[in-house]
Amino acid sequence: MRISIITLFPEMFVGPFDASIVKRACERNLVEIRLINTRDFATDKHKVTVDYPYGGGGGMVMKPEPLAAAIEAARQGSEGTKCVTVYLSPQGEPYKQDLAMELTQYDNLVLVCGHYEGIDERIRESLIDREISIGDYVLSGGELPAMVLIDSLVRLLPGALHNEMSWKNDSFSTGLLDWPHYTRPEEFRGMRVPDVLLSGNHQKIDEWRCRKALERTWRVRPDLLKKVQLSEQDHKWLAELRRE
Ligand code: SAM
């Protein structure tokens, strides 16, 4: 997978992509991340990439010419591959785990980061395939959303995590929240690890984990239960939880 990030602030990506899973995935050639500076595509002497909005009002708008040239350069070589151009925007479709999963199917992902008031509407209309929002709040730029998106989808690529199973049971991947996790020591400040996890009985451990994931989802995010296919056993556990 190749991810091209179109940004006015490429320096923002240096720290986050220089550590942990994204760094390892790049080293293993599971993903290639390219930073494309919009400013490099401004053709005037002062490398202007923003301008005042028509109609007046505060804020600046990202100019269409350098952005269009940057997007077209990013897409070069992607002919015949699965390619999508995404504008990170608070007005986009909400970013969820299933959308992260869907994006892993692309060979070429072009991410456009806006800044200031955003990008000229004509870029949106002519060159953007999808708009994605990471939440109902407004950030100063699309750089942090692009990092969120990349981190969440790179960990889904085969070979990115040491243990593939770890994301398969993550919150949202199963439709529920994850179950509680414990590690050594067996007792910490008077709190013991649940006996079942020390029992060595894997059937009982699986059962306990499924019940805990269901319980946590029911308590914290009951809205998720409406979208997930529950088993007969899940319904029994839910009935027990409601009685407790
Ligand atoms: N005027 C725009 C609006 O109200 O819809 C907000 C512009 S925002 C200050 C600047 C840039 O940050 C946007 O162009 C977008 O790229 C990015 N951005 C801000 N919030 C975002 C969010 N929740 N999800 C994705 N991108 C976001």
Spatial separation of the C-alpha atoms in residues 106 and 14, rounded to whole Å: 24
| pLDDT tens-place string over residues 46-99 | 999 999 999 999 899 999 999 999 999 999 999 999 999 999 999 999 999 999
Residue 186 in tokens: 């067996």
> Which of the four pLDDT bands, split at 50, 70 and 90, describes residue 163?
confident
pLDDT at residue 15 greater than cutoff 80: yes
Alpha carbon of 140 to ligand 1 centroid (Å): 6
pLDDT of amino acid 42: 98
Spatial separation of the C-alpha atoms in residues 104 and 210, rounded to whole Å: 27
Strand partners, 131: 87
Q: Which residue segments constitute the domains of the chain, with CATH numbers given?
A: 2-154 (3.40.1280.10), 171-243 (1.10.1270.20)
Spatial separation of the C-alpha atoms in residues 46 and 59, rounded to whole Å: 19
How much is the mean pLDDT over the chain?
96
Alpha carbon of 112 to ligand 1 centroid (Å): 11
pLDDT at residue 165 greater than cutoff 80: no
What Rg, from alpha-carbon coordinates, does the chain have?
23
Active site residues: 90, 117, 155, 170
- The mean pLDDT value for 115-144 works out to 98
pLDDT of amino acid 167: 87
Strand partners, 37: 7
No. of helices (H) and no. of strands (E), the chain: 10, 9
**Shortest CA distance to 132 belongs to which of 147, 120, 117?**
147
- The mean pLDDT value for 1-13 works out to 98
Report the share of the chain in percent with pLDDT over 90: 95
Query: Is 142 near ligand 1, meaning CB less than 6 Å away?
Result: yes
| pLDDT tens-place string over residues 95-123 | 999 999 999 999 999 999 999 999 999 99
Contact (Cβ atoms closer than 8 angstroms) between residue 170 and residue 176: no
Burial string for 32-70 (b: 16+ CB within 10 Å, else e) reads: ebebbbbeebbeeeeeebbeeeeeeeeeebbbbebbbbb
> Whole-model pTM?
0.96
